[in-house]
Structure 1
Amino acid sequence: MTGIQALERRMPDIPMKPGRCTQVEFEYIRHGTQTLIASFNVATGEVDLATVGPTRTEADFEAHIRQLLAQCPQAPKVHLVMDCLNTHQSASLVRLAAQLESQAIDLGVKGRSGILRSMATRAAFLSVPNHRLVVHFTPKHCSWLNQIELWFSILVRKLLRRSSFTSPAHLKQKIIELIDYFNRTMAKPFKWNYTGKPLIS
């Protein structure tokens, strides 16, 4: 989740009273943004790992995935569901996936040859089902199929929509606190209720 704004409201909220809901100040001071890279465990409903920082570079994403894999070093296979963001199909992620294989793999040269030639060839390699790290990419314009998007909507409703943050560090602290609270008290697997029936007739 990129571009999470640290907005400080210019005036405090007007509290709720009989017949009126809380009124939130619409003018704000912008203190910058943060990016949240999060891994959601669909079996437990918990956010297993969250990285909050100022950027979402290829190196940031690789470091996040390395931390995630370190949590389950003995797992025979790890399945990740992601959208088609460029950092999700990066050369560093391909190299990481290749390191997990028992035999050395010739990856080629980025932008020129082999598996590293293009985003399409990298995505194809990451999607190979018999690798230890298997990435399932959601179709374009269908990132809602990824359950982390449901959790991001919870983050927006519970924290971001009405809160006031005095700095990017304050925003980061509040996001991490919400994740800890969510994992302790609210985490449960999401229950899909879409049956596959076309949404239009």
Structure 2
Amino acid sequence: MSSLVGDRRVDAVVAGRARMVLWRDEGRSAEEVAVLAGVSRPTVNTWVRRYHDHGVPGLADRPRPGKPTEVPGSVRARILALTRMTPPEVTGLTHWSSREMAAYLASHENIRVSHNFIADLWRAHGLQPYRHGTFKFSRDPAFVDKVVDIVGLYLNPPDGAVVLCVDERTQVQALDRTQPLLPIDFDRIEKRTHDYVRHGTTNLFAALDAATGQVVARCFPKRRGSEFLAFMKTVAAAYPDRELHVVVDNLSTHTADEVKAWLVRHPRIVFHFTPTGSSWSNMVEIWFRIITRQAIRRGTFTSVVRLTRAINDYVTAWNTDAKPFVWTATPGEILAKVRWVHTEVRKLLTNNDK
């Protein structure tokens, strides 16, 4: 039973039901398990009873009566095509979840399918858009030139120059996480979303040295062109008299007028813009994922000051033993993959239109 909880191949819903059974077997009451799982007490009792009656198979959904709803092939093709593309800018998403895609389809394309159907379709086609390794389409007309430029910097940097990967994480939250104490006062518990308290946010700017893995980072209360310029001045001061090639994306803060004017006055600093919707081409994104996982996501911060201090401490520790990330894919390999994916999607759309 415990193997179901930690196995990524197991449906998340089934894993949640298995977790309820395990908690009950540990001696927790149905009321306590209901609070931990965010469900009602009858729901807990139902899945515990089904497990005792039918074992692990009892945790799966039973077949529903009636003829299953037919989803047209064109809708399936549209879902698969969207899955392989970067979410539209209107969503504000970096990657799809089944629920977010279902909501987008309903509100923007008048397609109504359940998130469970989308998840099943992804499993049937081996797609995992929530995994960072999933490739995304870019609509940038200069995609090829930008990939060749940036990957060329990683694989063959100019002699004597420093290649820096720069980006920011906005609205990093200072959260004070709370846990109900036992015995639990169930009358005071409303929703699981109330298990933490927000104490404000900060904006984390970071520059990763592609050759050494060293990181320069600063936190700002706002994210505007002025804050980005202040950060870039800090970065430039850390590399005096060196030619700097800076990989950035096309955010408005990176192309503000004051930033452009500053670059004109400092010709030793050159910006290289990533293709639209291709954050994977900026290696600082790897570092952002690491600090989020290791220092931020599960942390408890009662103020923005404490959050900022934790980030600064992490950066200091990182730089004491920094190692570079190694980029191995050539521009030719990346572009060949893009052409292959485009071809497969066109085949899929053509077959489903017949």
TM-score over 0.5 (shorter chain): yes
Deviations 1:135-155 (A, max 9, x none): 010011101110110000001
Q: CA deviation at 1:193?
A: 3.9
Instruction: Name the amino acid aligned to 1:149.
Output: E
TM-score normalized by structure 2? 0.42
Aligned to 1:69: 236
Question: Larger RCO: Structure 1 or Structure 2 (Cα < 8 Å, ≥ 6 residues apart)?
Answer: 1
Aligned to 2:324: 189
1:36–1:53 CA contact under 8 A, matched in 2: yes
- Distance in 2 (CA, whole Å) between partners of 1:166 and 1:98 is 42
Q: CA deviation at 1:26?
A: 7.8
Aligned to 2:272: 136
Q: List alignment gaps of at least 5 residues for structure 1.
A: 13-24, 102-131
Q: SS of the residue aligned with 1:88?
A: helix
**Residue 38 of structure 1, aligned match among 198, 203, 206:** 206
Aligned residues: 157
Within-5 A mapping of 1:108-147: 132-147=268-283
Give the number of the structure whose residues are more often strand, by fraction: 1
**Residue 8 of structure 1, aligned match among 176, 193, 205:** 176
- Distance in 1 (CA, whole Å) between partners of 2:217 and 2:253 is 16
- Distance in 1 (CA, whole Å) between partners of 2:196 and 2:238 is 39
Identity percentage of aligned residues = 37
- Distance in 2 (CA, whole Å) between partners of 1:139 and 1:42 is 19
Aligned to 1:87: 253
Cα RMSD, aligned residues only? 2.0
- Distance in 1 (CA, whole Å) between partners of 2:213 and 2:238 is 16
- Distance in 2 (CA, whole Å) between partners of 1:150 and 1:26 is 31
Q: CA deviation at 1:99?
A: 1.2
Aligned to 1:122: none
- Distance in 2 (CA, whole Å) between partners of 1:183 and 1:159 is 15
Q: CA deviation at 1:182?
A: 1.1
- Distance in 2 (CA, whole Å) between partners of 1:198 and 1:60 is 37
Q: CA deviation at 1:36?
A: 0.5
Aligned to 1:177: 313
Give the number of the structure whose residues are more often helix, by fraction: 2
Q: List alignment gaps of at least 5 residues for structure 2.
A: 1-168, 181-192, 345-354
TM-score normalized by structure 1? 0.72
Q: CA deviation at 1:162?
A: 1.0
Instruction: Name the amino acid aligned to 1:67.
Output: T
- Distance in 1 (CA, whole Å) between partners of 2:238 and 2:298 is 34
Q: CA deviation at 1:79?
A: 0.5
Structure of larger gyration radius: 2
Change (3 A) 1:142 1:183: same
Change (3 A) 1:174 1:164: same
Instruction: Name the amino acid aligned to 2:323.
Output: K
Deviations 1:116-157 (A, max 9, x none): xxxxxxxxxxxxxxxx22101001110111011000000111
Q: SS of the residue aligned with 2:337?
A: coil
Q: CA deviation at 1:73?
A: 2.5
- Distance in 2 (CA, whole Å) between partners of 1:182 and 1:66 is 22
Within-5 A mapping of 1:20-39: 27-39=195-207
- Distance in 1 (CA, whole Å) between partners of 2:170 and 2:233 is 20
Matched, 1:168 2:307: no
Q: SS of the residue aligned with 2:277?
A: coil
Within-5 A mapping of 1:51-66: 51-66=218-233
1:9–1:26 CA contact under 8 A, matched in 2: no
